[in-house]
């Protein structure tokens, strides 16, 4: 069974705070990432929140599992670890989304024999979301802001054809405005 984790625990310093609650095309930015996770065929969606947990809890739909990353200040890996701890044994595939990438759809991709993960590639650049074997993701013991990077360094990763939306993350208010206006990415 496939689960999706949406990482939403950052402090949004470059944005000026509360990024995932900012309106994007009429709704909070985070809800768009949750929509993309639904489209990925996940049996369960887990949102990992940290800095603004209480405010995020107010907007997350009731059918979504909300996990608190108490050590979110330790970096992306701590948030990822909180999400992985919420996985059930039956959830063997993990679609990993970033809460600040509202246009990033999981391409039609499957984990193939001999590969640990698959990720979209756009113009030679790796994008998000990724599809990862849950057992491989659980072995990640990274510290700091490297997330899945240590696993990816040693993993066999298949490539899938992505779209520009797989590269656009919202780190600044300017990027939020750009993404909201870009018709080609709707």
* pLDDT, tens digit only, all 186 positions of the chain: 999 999 987 655 555 567 788 888 889 989 999 999 999 999 999 999 887 778 888 999 999 999 998 776 676 677 888 899 999 999 999 999 998 888 888 888 788 888 988 989 999 999 999 999 988 887 764 444 555 666 666 678 888 899 888 888 877 667 666 666 665 454
C-alpha to C-alpha distance for 122 and 58, rounded to whole angstroms = 34
- Structural domain boundaries, residue 157: 2-185
160: helix, strand or coil = strand
- Identify the CATH number of the domain in which residue 158 sits: 3.90.550.10
C-alpha to C-alpha distance for 180 and 69, rounded to whole angstroms = 29
In Å, the largest CA–CA distance within the chain is 43
The pLDDT, as a whole number, for residue 143 is 46
Residue 76 token pair: 């992306």
The pLDDT, as a whole number, for residue 125 is 92
C-alpha to C-alpha distance for 26 and 7, rounded to whole angstroms = 21
Please choose, from the candidates 89, 111, 95, 14, the residue with its C-alpha nearest in 3D space to the C-alpha of residue 47.
Answer: 95
The pLDDT, as a whole number, for residue 61 is 93
Number of domains forming the structure of the chain:
1
């Amino acid at each position: 069974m496939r689960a999706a984790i949406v990482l939403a625990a950052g402090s949004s310093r470059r944005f000026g705070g509360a990024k995932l609650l900012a309106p994007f095309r009429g709704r909070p930015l985070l809800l768009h990432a949750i929509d993309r996770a639904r489209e990925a065929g996940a049996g369960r969606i887990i949102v990992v929140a940290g800095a603004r947990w209480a405010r995020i809890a107010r907007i997350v739909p009731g059918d979504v599992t909300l996990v608190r990353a108490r050590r979110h200040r330790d970096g992306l890996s701590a948030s990822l670890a909180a999400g992985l701890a919420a996985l059930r044994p039956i959830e063997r595939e993990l679609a990993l989304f970033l809460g600040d990438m509202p246009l990033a759809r999981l391409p039609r991709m499957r984990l193939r024999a001999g590969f640990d993960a698959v990720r979209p590639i756009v113009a030679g650049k790796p994008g998000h979301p990724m599809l990862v074997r849950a057992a491989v993701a659980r072995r990640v013991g990274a510290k700091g802001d490297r997330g899945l990077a240590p696993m990816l360094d040693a993993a066999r990763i298949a490539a899938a054809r992505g779209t520009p939306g797989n590269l656009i993350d919202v780190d600044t208010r300017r990027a939020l405005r750009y993404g909201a206006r870009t018709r080609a990415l709707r």
